[in-house]
A = this chain, B = another copy of it.
Amino acid sequence: MKRIKVLPVPKPIETEGLIVLVDILRATSTIVTALSCGALRVKPVASIEEALLYSKQDYLLAGERECVPPEGFQAGNSPIEAQNFAQAKVVLTTTNGTKALSFVKRAKAICAGAFLNLAAVSKFAERFEEVTVLCAGTNGDLSLEDFLWAGKFLGYLFNYERENDAAIVAFEYAREISDILKEIIKSPHARRLEKFGFYKDIEFCARLNIYNTVPILTSEGFVGIEVT
């Protein structure tokens, strides 16, 4: 039987299977949107300094620190802004999403999941015997929206053994939630984003299955493939 695991917060991980990175507010929602709207690639980097190096290579700089774009950046870590990234090579630095990737020691493939492409990621995941959902969390703590995504994702997969307790809990928690936006907005992190004026981003991130694009991590960054 195929197997699935959920990591509620990042920890070192080695797998022969697929890793689905989830950072709903807002990194993976931004990556999915950018690639769905025609961005050529999205390169995740850890630091602002590293991102700035790319600006000389014709990259569009996007990202955030404390919710807002760093100086010299053209865009925030915003899926709404990412709709305008057609034809751009994007470099993206975010607080938690990029950091989570540094925990991956080995994997057959890494893709990015969001509510925006949940069904497409589920279809893609079914090609793998082992799937691990890597929730980015917030500063090392569980994020409601990432964990909710993990649970909803489990609801889309058939014939997978839920291999760890977090997978069982995420599935049962998510099963009872029908209004994604209403649930996400409960989290302190979402309320903080709202205070910074990003309510429309949260609303956007809560939309379900509007894209068929699955971002796949390559050495050049995330590139989009269509899965239908």
A-side residues, CB < 8 A to B, are 8-9, 11, 138, 140-144, 147-148, 163-166, 168-169, 172-173, 175-177, 186-189
Number of copies: 2
- Say yes or no: B140 contacts A11, CB within 8 Å: yes
Could you jot down 21 A-B contacts, CB within 8 Å? Answer: A9-B9, A11-B140, A141-B164, A141-B165, A142-B164, A142-B166, A142-B169, A143-B165, A144-B165, A147-B165, A165-B187, A165-B188, A165-B189, A168-B186, A168-B187, A169-B173, A172-B173, A172-B176, A172-B177, A175-B176, A176-B176
| Least CB distance, A159 to chain B, in whole angstroms | 17
Q: Which 6 A-B residue pairs are closest in the complex by CB-CB distance? A: A144-B165, A173-B173, A142-B166, A165-B187, A142-B165, A176-B176
Looking at the complex, which one of B166, B177, B188 makes contact with A164 (CB distance below 8 Å)? Answer: B188
Bound Cα distance A84, B186 (Å) = 46
User: Which residue on B lies nearest to A189, using beta carbons?
Assistant: B165
| Least CB distance, A164 to chain B, in whole angstroms | 6
Q: Which residues from chain B contact A187 at a C-beta distance below 8 Å?
A: 165, 168
- Say yes or no: B147 contacts A169, CB within 8 Å: yes
Q: Which residues from chain B contact A142 at a C-beta distance below 8 Å?
A: 8, 164-166, 169
- Say yes or no: A165 contacts B138, CB within 8 Å: yes
> Beyond A148-B169, A169-B173: 13 further Cβ-contacts under 8 Å?
A8-B8, A8-B142, A138-B165, A141-B164, A142-B169, A144-B169, A163-B188, A165-B188, A168-B187, A172-B173, A172-B176, A172-B177, A173-B173
Bound Cα distance A143, B166 (Å) = 7
Bound Cα distance A210, B143 (Å) = 34
- Say yes or no: A168 contacts B140, CB within 8 Å: no
Q: Which of A163, A165, A175 has the most CB of B within 10 A?
A: A165
| Least CB distance, A209 to chain B, in whole angstroms | 23
Q: Which residues from chain B contact A168 at a C-beta distance below 8 Å?
A: 144, 186-187
- Say yes or no: A141 contacts B169, CB within 8 Å: no
